[in-house]
Amino acid sequence: MWAHDRSIQQAEALDVMNELSVCAPTYPQLLTHDLRSLVASYLPSRGFHIFSAGITPDYEHLEVWRDWVL
């Protein structure tokens, strides 16, 4: 997960997230990039969600991520 190319790093991180959801499906997960942007979410009751580019965990995007994080 230390690829210099962000798209490769993100693809590898999503692969790990997917494997974790198979091995431990009862645990929610949240993938961020540098804690500045939301990449993906997994909730046991809802499955996976990939966020659009530029979505932050900040209040300004609350309506976008609320159902996939809380």
pLDDT tens, 22-52? 999 999 999 998 899 999 999 999 999 999 9
Q: pLDDT at residue 1 above 60?
A: no
**Residue 3 confidence (pLDDT):** 58
Q: Could you list the residue range(s) of the whole structural domain that residue 26 is in?
A: 6-69
The predicted model scores a pTM of 0.84
**Predicted confidence band of residue 5 (pLDDT cuts 50, 70, 90):** confident
Residue 49 lies in a domain: yes
> Is 47 inside a domain boundary?
yes
- Amino acid at position 30, single letter: L
- The number of domains in the chain is 1
R_g (Cα) of the chain, nearest Å: 12
Helix (H, G, I), strand (E, B) or coil at 3: coil
Is the pLDDT assigned to residue 53 strictly greater than 90?
A: yes
Asked whether residue 1 is assigned to any structural domain, the reply reads no
Percent share of the chain, pLDDT over 70: 96
Would residue 35 count as lying in a domain? yes
Q: Is residue 26 part of a domain?
A: yes
